[in-house]
A and B are shown apart, each in its own frame.
Chain A
Amino acid sequence: MDRTHLNEQALLFLAKRDSSNWTDHDEESLQNWVDCDDAHRVAFLRLENIWENVGRLKALGAGLPRGTVPPPSHWRHSPFFASENERAPRSVRQMRLWSFTAAVMILTFATGLIGYLWPRGDRYSTPIGGIASVPLQDGSSVTLNTASQIHVELTPEERHIALDRGEAFFYVAHDTTRPFVVQAGNKRVIAVGTQFSVRREADDIRVAVTEGKVRIEEDAPRRRRGARPETASPERQDQVFAAAGTIATTNSSGVNVQEKPIAEVAEDLSWRQGYLTFHNTTLAQAVEEFNRYNRQKIRVEEPRTAAIRVSGTFRATNSQAFIRILDEAYSIHAKTTDGSVTLRQN
């Protein structure tokens, strides 16, 4: 039977059994239904388990009179969560962001990164292979990828983040009075409330926007720092807008904005979970990616080897697995010398 249909049936049984109208006859139908197919029984057990788990919320209802339902988010004030503070969840998207942030924080802890994160004034950085999440005072947060550094300056006029090097993902708390400006070299990416990442390579940047819209502009040499970017004339030639679902890249001739399915943009950000995803990527590019995350550098010398295309998802810090797969699938062999690995065919 179709899973959705099966799930719905199990749901009807569960809710009815919970009511006062549950008869012996109903019980018999339920038993027959779960007995006739293990898939039925499993679907029912699963929902029953979820239903039972919801009862764990009693821990949060403690102290409230029976029958009083606290407003949403009220539980945040529960003594249970007293030691933590966090912005209120408003949507499933934010929930997912929260769980991802937690994952990143745990990952940070797991990799022992905390000791590497130096909050020197407002400067934050990560070592090679590191990921770190930095909450900002305004409720925004920044996730730093490998070998990255930012400099944070929050003023009443502007939230200014200099991306000194590397890559970062920004979750921007909505505040129309204070634009959120990411400065990477002479490029600026400006947002009000949105989610996006900026990766810097020398003076060029790559911006992936997952939510909202950002404005990308080049610093006019005479531009005064702290000037309100919003008041700048919209006709400026060096201004480009990038909306959710786009990836913008800059080069000497300007900014190129490409529309991508959201899933693809999200994949571009899989580093936040510690993964690299390749789709038909040249080995040269894949190796370059791995080299961002690992001290032991990989080199590909032969052009024909560098041009091979690879796909797959890999742990960013586990280049060994990647090398092993290349060996098994493509007969590309690795030779280690002086702390670097050279890949060649045959």
Chain B
Amino acid sequence: MLESLDNWFKREILAHEASLNRYLQRFWPRRSEIPDLRQEIFTRVYQAAKKSRPQSSAKSFLFSTARHLMADRIRRKKIVAIDSVADLDALNVPVPGQMVDELSPEHHLLAHQELRRLAQAIDGLPPKCRKVIWMRRVDDLSQREVAARLGISEKSVEKHVIKGMRILERTFYGTPDEVKADPGDLTQDEQEHG
């Protein structure tokens, strides 16, 4: 039986989010547009895979979707002539897999280095938030148990989860600009809600 599309998508596509981000940062001059671009790329890949899953490398498919989308946008917006020529040239290297490897030395980061990055991202969370995320994900305590141990309401635990995930989403997986722009404000998250 075929693996569920959602699981496939997480394992084969979303797993490459970090390298996709680096790739976009390298080629897309307007950093503020990268989160939208990334979302559009993922959605396109998902929609294409709904019809038929890529036969060969899912990763190459992801990056070629990214290239096509960037090329489309460049054509539509008519970004300064040689910029687009330079970018398109780089984007049109024939073998996508090889190109990505060539362009992203970080891509070779060992798994434990990625883990270290994750640990550093967790360390960057506000202290209470960090505690909640750690207890919930590392110790596998339920939100209710975490609430009991920290002496706060379960609703507060949930809010810390939201806040922590929002920060992680931007720092670990996002772009530097996303980190700076934080529209979410949870300053009242210490408040109890019954």
Q: What string of 1s and 0s marks CB contacts (under 8 Å) between A38-74 and chain B?
A: 1101110111111111111111110000110110110
Spot the interface stretch: A18-26, A141-149, A232-240, A335-343.
Answer: A18-26
Is B96 engaged at the interface, CB distance under 8 Å to the other chain?
Answer: no
Known: A8-B184, A21-B154, A50-B169. Contact between A99 and B106, CB under 8 A?
Answer: yes
How many Cβ-Cβ contacts under 8 Å join chain A to chain B? 181
> B176 — nearest CB in chain A belongs to which residue?
A96
Q: A18: shortest Cβ distance to chain B, in Å?
A: 6
Indicate if the CB atoms of A3 and B89 lie closer than 8 Å: no
Q: What string of 1s and 0s marks CB contacts (under 8 Å) between B110-151 and chain A?
A: 001101111111111000001101111111011110000100
Known: A39-B43, A42-B39, A46-B17. Contact between A51 and B165, CB under 8 A?
Answer: yes
Known: A11-B166, A69-B131, A106-B105. Contact between A41 and B46, CB under 8 A?
Answer: yes
Q: What string of 1s and 0s marks CB contacts (under 8 Å) between B164-189 and chain A?
A: 01101101110010010001100000
Indicate if the CB atoms of B14 and A46 lie closer than 8 Å: yes
Is B97 engaged at the interface, CB distance under 8 Å to the other chain?
Answer: no
Indicate if the CB atoms of B82 and A69 lie closer than 8 Å: no
Known: A46-B17, A54-B118, A69-B130. Contact between A15 and B158, CB under 8 A?
Answer: yes
- Interface positions, chain B 71-118, Cβ under 8 Å from A, are 80-83, 85-87, 89-90, 103, 105-106, 108-109, 112-113, 115-118
Indicate if the CB atoms of B118 and A57 lie closer than 8 Å: yes
Specify which of B83, B109, B139 is in contact with A312 (CB 8 Å cutoff): B83
Indicate if the CB atoms of A48 and B105 lie closer than 8 Å: no
Indicate if the CB atoms of A312 and B168 lie closer than 8 Å: no
Indicate if the CB atoms of B161 and A15 lie closer than 8 Å: yes
Q: A91: shortest Cβ distance to chain B, in Å?
A: 7
Indicate if the CB atoms of A48 and B10 lie closer than 8 Å: yes
A279–B138 Cα gap in the complex (Å)? 47
Q: Which residues of A contact B42 (CB under 8 A)?
A: 42, 46
Chain B residues bordering chain A, tally (CB within 8 A): 73
Spot the interface stretch: A154-162, A197-205, A211-219, A321-329.
Answer: A321-329
Q: A110: shortest Cβ distance to chain B, in Å?
A: 5
Specify which of B116, B136, B138 is in contact with A18 (CB 8 Å cutoff): B136
Interface majority SS (helix, strand, loop, mixed), chain B? helix
Q: Which residues of A contact B108 (CB under 8 A)?
A: 106, 110
Specify which of A18, A21, A66, A312 is in contact with B86 (CB 8 Å cutoff): A312
A107–B22 Cα gap in the complex (Å)? 15
Is A114 engaged at the interface, CB distance under 8 Å to the other chain?
Answer: no
Is B9 engaged at the interface, CB distance under 8 Å to the other chain?
Answer: yes
Is A89 engaged at the interface, CB distance under 8 Å to the other chain?
Answer: yes
Residue from A47, A69, A273 whose CB has the most chain B CB atoms within 10 Å:
A69
Is B6 engaged at the interface, CB distance under 8 Å to the other chain?
Answer: yes
Indicate if the CB atoms of B161 and A38 lie closer than 8 Å: no
Q: Which residues of B contact A38 (CB under 8 A)?
A: 43, 46-47, 50
Known: A55-B137, A312-B87. Contact between A92 and B144, CB under 8 A?
Answer: no
Indicate if the CB atoms of B36 and A3 lie closer than 8 Å: yes
Indicate if the CB atoms of B82 and A312 lie closer than 8 Å: yes
Indicate if the CB atoms of B169 and A329 lie closer than 8 Å: no
Is B162 engaged at the interface, CB distance under 8 Å to the other chain?
Answer: yes
Indicate if the CB atoms of B106 and A102 lie closer than 8 Å: yes
Q: A312: shortest Cβ distance to chain B, in Å?
A: 3
Known: A55-B138, A67-B141. Contact between A107 and B105, CB under 8 A?
Answer: yes
Is A12 engaged at the interface, CB distance under 8 Å to the other chain?
Answer: yes
Indicate if the CB atoms of B80 and A311 lie closer than 8 Å: yes
Is B68 engaged at the interface, CB distance under 8 Å to the other chain?
Answer: no
Indicate if the CB atoms of A50 and B172 lie closer than 8 Å: yes
Residue numbers of B with Cβ under 8 A of A are 6, 9-10, 14-15, 17, 26-27, 35-36, 39, 42-43, 46-47, 50, 80-83, 85-87, 89-90, 103, 105-106, 108-109, 112-113, 115-124, 130-131, 133-139, 141-144, 149, 154, 157-159, 161-162, 165-166, 168-169, 171-173, 176, 179, 183-184
